[in-house]
Structure 1
Amino acid sequence: MIDYVNHLARMHVLVDAAAGRSNTAYVVDSRLYPNLAVDIIVPWLAQLVGVETATRLFLLASQTLVVTGAIALEIVVRGRHQLSGFAALTALYSLPFLWGLLNFEFGCGVALWAIAVWIRYRDGRWQAQIALHTIFVVVLFVSHLFGLGIYGLTIGCYEASRIAGYRQAARTLAVMGFPVVALYVYLIWSGGAIGKPVFDWWFIFKLVWPLLVMNGYNLSLSIALALTIAALLLFLGYNRVFGLTRPAILIGSGFLVAYLLMPTRLFDSAYSEVRLIPAIMTILPAFLTVSWPSRSVQSVAALVAVTIILVNAASIASVWSAYRSDYAEMIESFHLLPPGSTILIARSDGSGGVDTPMFYAPTLAAHYANAFVPSLYNVSGPIKKAPSKSRFEIEDSRDYLPTPISQLNSASGGGPAPAHVRGWRTDYDYLYVVGDQTVSIPDHLTIMMGSRRFSLYSIGK
């Protein structure tokens, strides 16, 4: 996955620092950030099983939370499980999860359980409701702010569908809002941050994301799966399998409005509206009524759903397994780097799709070679660049991706380029080119290791 490897590199740096093996190019800055689930859980778990296994277990736990949380929500709402498990498994390798946004996936799973608990205890003792709500708000706030937003949007729409008067509305709003306001005040007081105030709207993508969201490696397969899901929904609608409840209408409308209004980049966090798609896929089925007209209709629906799930999972597994030898070669290449080296990652301008799992692989050099890689992702997190590396600060989160070769050539000629790239020939010791290896490489580079998915070059001074 794209960001997974970057998270893994950061986990290594955190664990190394705790063990007294600090990489002097980075400093640990422990503050409250609304994006810390993996940074809290994995270093602790790594003491028992190692960093790589701990990170895999965190991913597995996140996926388990998503699927079981969707099922639990449907059982709480309708008293039985019929749809939500299928829907959650269908969404499990959608783009936001496939990109390796680990904290978001964990937060989404926790949010599903939190919604289920809210509905289960909403009519119970108010003390228990406040206590449980506060616990989930704190966990979600620390895990990922977007998970808290999904939770708040869903229970807000649910409560709006059941409103009985102004007094009840005021009490519910106070219960929902107080712990969030308290945490935000503490965040500001402690010097933490949500992210940079960057907001970009790319409205044209809102029309195509539903087609692109199902598979990040194969565009044709993603479109085919999305169209198959649409056909399945039309088939079920024609057979009047689903019924809309008032909560389903309000929750669906709330998510649609949020999807249309939300910036593509929110607090410099990219693809914000895309994250709403797997969220609504795992939430909305719980609030639908289901009535199967015949066993044959039910069997056809189950067969199509299982086929979608298995085809997508097989596609993802084939890509992941194909990269095992490439990651092994990448780690072997780190032995060629002197400790303290400064590394830049580049790619061809057209790289994407199946090239993306290599985009952040060289960031692992921060652990294996004690190197400095400025694109080791640290936005709103506990790892910061050391003051001596301040000139390598990346201002736009999109520039954490490998630098296109065209930007390197532009910078060499004095043309426009991100600040951390402008002096790349003198500022960096080594260059990794990941992805497409047929690209034309800039002059004055000496190849040290070549592979089918990456090459390592020494930069001539």
Structure 2
Amino acid sequence: MMASDGDSQNRVGVRGGPFMPGEFIFQRSLLLVGLLLAASVVPVLSVETPAMIDYVNHLARMHLLVDAAAGRPNPAYEIDWGLYPNLAVDLIVPVVARFVSVETAARLFLLVSQTLVVSGAIALELKVRGRHHLSGFAALIALYSLPFLWGLMNWEFGCGVALWAIVFWIHFREGPWLFLVVLHTFFFIVLFFAHLFALGIYGLTIGCYEASQIRGYRQAARTFVAMVSPAVAAYLFLMGSGGAPEQPVLTWWFGLKLMWPLLVMNCYNIALSIALGVSIAGLLVFLGYNRILGLTRPAVFIGSGFLIVYLLMPARLFGGAYADVRLIPAIMLILPAFLTVHWPSAAVRSVAALLAVSIILINVTNVASIWSAYRSDYAEIIASFRLLRANSTILVARSDVEVGRINAPMFYAPTLAVHYAAAFVPSLYTLSGQQPVRKSTSKSAFEIEDALDYLPTTISQLNSASAGGTVPSHVRAWRTDYDYLYIVGEQPASIPDRLTRMMHGRRFSLYAIDK
């Protein structure tokens, strides 16, 4: 049901008093969310290296930055700082690593990001509605969804900051215009350096929110100027500084758009993801059947805006991939704050809470078990680095039949050799305009042009390269260019010849390439 305009104004809090969290009545639901958050961070606290796909790649880069600052640079890479976007982890983790290990600093960054996401969602609902009903539960359901579980560290941190930025925008939007511009510019800059997509989430949300609140052309023009001015300045800066990707990549995978709502809930197990997605749909049907949820005008505008952008958003946007699926957890974090909630009875509320808690704990338990299982695998591959010659070159490959996602967290584990063996691994992320690490001039022939080619090379590509077929440039002469080959994930029944196996682990094998 749609709330009336008067009801929307009173309950959405557009003209609410000062934002003081202490003024809100403590609710049992917040205590439950706090306990669930404590349970949700147990996986991060219980392992040294979270088994997230991109996390390990970022961790290897953090080691490079810390090593270089300590006077132990890897000769295969150059540190090249610039005013690029997407630098949150690069700016924060090396500073924290002055006091703790790099692994601990990276996990602290992840914990802060998760806390920002959950607290930001709750703060948004408290600001908009004055009470907590849904946002904490929705945020915890999304906390280990696929985009976050991939280990997109800058994106998760930026998403948390964006939620808090939306809270402050709504609170101060009726205040002095100049102060709003300054505050908006501050958050714009923070989000710019955190992650561009998080900046887009922030802009889309406040844009849709303001569209729902327009009361005249003068107000609309003033708000438009306040919102757009930093964006214009940032665009001009990017064009002049070289921070933007040189060759934008825009690719649509329309078939996945209908599937993502079922595949988004778990990165490791498709069946579990579908089951959780169906459970969430069942929870929403239950809430709708009991007429618990209602739409406000801002909810309609924000929900419609996200839906339109999701349908139009390319899967690959500039250098990144899977851009559209990130909108799903984003809307899960934002939209609940703008819904009206009317519980018909305590029993109905308890049933809804039980369903939400079950979804959260099932996913967290699955994540904890997988991360725990990977501890020995990461320890084993780190031990394998002692078998490598210093300053060697390493290629990472995988079987062509590697379709299960359970082995994906191993894909980038060999990049840790850049720290432990001073090796060169071309699949370490060195994306132009995004990371402050570059391949050295002597390694320019190994540059990767397509971001998807950072994934492990398939065995069929290795065989095709040996036969003179078309393959990514860094693979063409792999037999002569590389000293070692790691095959991660499922071990293929047959491998290329002229390889000598040096070590075999549960999720990888190390081979010396016979010259």
TM range (shorter): over 0.9
CA distance in 1, matches of 2:446, 2:493: 25
Post-superposition CA distance 1:324-361 (Å, at most 9, x none): 01111111110111111000000111223110110000
1:5-404 alignment to 2 at 5 Å? Answer: 5-194=56-245, 196-351=247-402, 352-379=404-431, 380-404=434-458
Moved more, 291-300 or 176-185: 176-185
Q: Percent identity?
A: 71
1:438 Cα deviation after fit: 4.2
CA distance in 1, matches of 2:448, 2:493: 25
Q: Look up the equivalent residue of 1:217 and give its one-letter code.
A: Y
**Counterpart in the other structure of 1:442:** 496
Number of aligned pairs? 461
SS at match of 2:291: coil
**Structure 1 segments of 4 or more deviating over 4 A?**
none
Q: Are the aligned partners of 2:60 and 2:428 in contact in 1 as well (CA < 8 Å)? A: yes
Give the gaps of 5 or more residues in structure 2.
1-51
1:439 Cα deviation after fit: 3.5
2:468 to 414, 417, 440: 414
Q: Are the aligned partners of 2:245 and 2:319 in contact in 1 as well (CA < 8 Å)? A: no
CA distance in 2, matches of 1:195, 1:354: 34
Q: Look up the equivalent residue of 1:402 and give its one-letter code.
A: P
1:415 Cα deviation after fit: 1.3
TM-score by length of 1: 0.99
CA distance in 2, matches of 1:202, 1:268: 15
Q: Look up the equivalent residue of 1:75 and give its one-letter code.
A: L
SS at match of 1:289: strand
Aligned CA-pair RMSD? 0.9
Post-superposition CA distance 1:270-313 (Å, at most 9, x none): 00000000000000000000000111110000000000000000
1:378 Cα deviation after fit: 1.7
1:27 Cα deviation after fit: 0.6
Post-superposition CA distance 1:73-125 (Å, at most 9, x none): 00010011110000000000111100000000001000000001100111112
Q: Are the aligned partners of 2:62 and 2:102 in contact in 1 as well (CA < 8 Å)? A: yes
SS at match of 2:299: helix
Q: Are the aligned partners of 1:158 and 1:247 in contact in 2 as well (CA < 8 Å)? A: yes
SS at match of 2:294: strand
CA distance in 2, matches of 1:196, 1:67: 35
CA distance in 2, matches of 1:327, 1:180: 42
Post-superposition CA distance 1:211-238 (Å, at most 9, x none): 0000010000000000010011011001
CA distance in 1, matches of 2:372, 2:193: 33
CA distance in 1, matches of 2:242, 2:251: 25
Q: Look up the equivalent residue of 1:298 and give its one-letter code.
A: R
Give the gaps of 5 or more residues in structure 1.
none
1:186 Cα deviation after fit: 2.2
Q: Are the aligned partners of 1:83 and 1:286 in contact in 2 as well (CA < 8 Å)? A: yes
Q: Are the aligned partners of 1:34 and 1:194 in contact in 2 as well (CA < 8 Å)? A: no
Post-superposition CA distance 1:186-223 (Å, at most 9, x none): 23323322464110001010010000000010000000
CA distance in 1, matches of 2:461, 2:342: 57
CA distance in 2, matches of 1:286, 1:383: 39
**Counterpart in the other structure of 1:423:** 477
Q: Are the aligned partners of 1:445 and 1:459 in contact in 2 as well (CA < 8 Å)? A: yes
